[in-house]
Amino acid sequence: MIRVAVLSGKGGTGKTVVAVALATLMGPSLILADCDVDASNLELLLNPRCMRVEEFRGGQIARIDPDLCVGCGACADACRFGAILPQEPAYGVVPHRCEGCGVCTQVCPALAVALEPRVTGEIRVSATRYGTLVHARLLPGCGNSGLLVHEVKRIALQEGKDCRYLLMDGPPGTGCPVISTLAGADMVVLVTEPSISALHDLRRVVMVARGGGRRLSAVINRWDLDPKQSGDVGKYCREEGIPVLGRIPFDFTVMESVRRGEPVTLWQSPASEEMGRIWRGLSAQLADSDATDVPR
Amino acid sequence: MKIALASGKGGTGKTMVAGNLAEVLYRQREVVLADCDVEEPNLHLFFPAQAETEPVTIPVPRFDESLCTRCGKCADACRFGAVTVLPSRILFLPPLCHACGGCLLACPEGAVTEGERRVGEVRVSRPGEHLRLVSGFLDSGEIHAPRVVRAVKEWAGDAPLVILDAPPGIACPVIETLEGCDACLLVTESTPFGLHDLALAAELAGYLHIPVGIVINRSDGADDGIRAYAQEKGLPVLLTIPFDRRIAEVQNRGKLICREIPGWEGTFADLFARAEALAGERR
């Protein structure tokens, strides 16, 4: 299986639109994973039919038994995350600050604190026209999205074990959920746009994405909004040895297709034509890596 | 007063609104602009100025092998699998460590002490006489974004007006940014993505009891979905910014529309007045 991650650094550059367009072009042996678990949007363009929902238990959370708490405050003093506060009638845990480290259980003289499993999200396995989709939702106030991304990928690898491709729509940024998305990826498609912010953020995500045997390539979205800055992005990519697979023009069809909840490639338009070119470039790279890479 | 810009979805224009708000306000009053999108900070691109840099560190355990009796209590205490006691040595994996201090507490021999490990930096600059910019930068490959956000907020301090630019999403770094804010402006765009992620971010702000106002950006007029949602939830739409190539061009070059395009200065001053009223609801 070849694992392709779509990332960008900066948010809103068009990762999801590009990922869905690729999904329509990659052929039937495809499994999809939405690794942007904070704000998963693949489902909005793929009309998924949910087959299965799983609760996700992301770590643990402390719970203080008010009947046992003696009110000494040792737990609050020891907690480095400010997650324990004096409340009535006993000390209480602020759920979104608790990291589940258990230091409070170590120091409580009354054995009033225990760790409990914590549900932090749900994972859905859905059928779509282009392949099975594994997507998730982080519950409000629950952190550790990297762990949830890891689980989405694990289920996707299981569900799609016989598939030729795993396509992952990644989160913005460079932090924990991005690192989790990158783990084990073979190819990274970086979607960027002609702005100084997008280029700045692209540089930062390239630093994180490099290594691990991953091959990087780039797509410049809405390139004609600023041809000069698109040139700067292209120049940066050349210097870094990152092939630019295509330049998508600004095209109202994209907005229209998103509104309808459908892939842009279902319409004939300048943007979908360019998506075809991007896929041909990517598949040439994939064929190349198929031939040269040691299978996992 | 702390006013945060958040969105759920990335690239909706949080930084654009934060930057323009600061630009129209700082000539009349002291403003601190806090870039809490520490994975991809961008505000410094709009306010270039010489910055002072402060490292952000987290505590990291150090194991004195000469005092260690191999009892394994440190490894038992660690819930994140960062410590393993082997017969010959202690195996410590820094990326898994949450810096909770559990191993330190657990060691009966005093063999665990703590040092510091760098995870990012804060850059503080003064791009204008009454404007201070505090930007967080997470180091490449690090996962401790919330720690860097916390450092940014500490450096921003309790200034009379702090404008915080939040990261996209709804997870830990966003929670860290929003906690303690008096109002949250959610910047969205008139697409199903914008609406979907707006609802998630509004849910988080509600969970944290922070009053929410909505800014619709790049509107092509088809905002019925967002307006219906706002009405249903009782959230005010404070400003609608139309889609306009000129705005995109100004923004893409790292400039601010309140300076480059006539009319926007008053619009952002007005937005601030509305945000201030929203923050007043909480106080």
Query: Does any CB of chain A come closer than 8 Å to the CB of residue B105?
Result: yes
pLDDT, position A292: 46
pLDDT, position B283: 55
Give the up-direction half-sphere exposure of residue B233: CA atoms within 13 A in the CB hemisphere.
22
Tens digits of per-residue pLDDT, B25-46? 998 899 999 999 999 999 999 9
B78-111 CB burial, b ≥16 within 10 A, e <16: bbbebbebeeeebebeeeebbbbbbbbebbeeeb
Candidates A9, A38, A200; nearest CB to B171: A38
Using the 8-state DSSP alphabet, how is residue A174 labeled? Answer: S
Query: Does any CB of chain A come closer than 8 Å to the CB of residue B204?
Result: yes
Tens digits of per-residue pLDDT, B110-167? 999 999 999 999 999 999 999 999 999 999 999 999 999 999 999 999 999 999 999 9
Query: Between residues 251 and 280 of chain B, which touch chain A (CB distance below 8 Å)?
Result: 251-254
Query: Contact A184/A216 with Cβ under 8 angstroms?
Result: no
pTM for the predicted model, two decimal places: 0.94
Contact B101 A103 (CB under 8 A): yes
Query: Contact A189/A245 with Cβ under 8 angstroms?
Result: yes
Domain annotation for chain A: domains and CATH numbers: 2-47+129-293 (3.40.50.300), 58-119 (3.30.70.20)
Cβ pairs bridging A and B (under 8 Å): 188
pLDDT, position B27: 86
Residue A203 to residue A181: CA distance in whole angstroms: 18
Give the up-direction half-sphere exposure of residue B34: CA atoms within 13 A in the CB hemisphere.
29
Residue B263 CB-density burial (10 A; 0-12 exposed, 13-18 middle, 19+ buried): exposed
Q: Does the structure show a pLDDT above 70 at A295?
A: no
Tens digits of per-residue pLDDT, B74-124? 999 999 999 999 998 999 999 889 999 999 999 999 999 999 999 999 999
Interface mutation vs chain B, best among A149, A174, A179, most B CBs within 10 Å: A174
Query: Contact A172/B168 with Cβ under 8 angstroms?
Result: yes
Contact A208 B222 (CB under 8 A): no
Tens digits of per-residue pLDDT, B216-231? 999 999 999 999 999 9
ipTM: 0.93
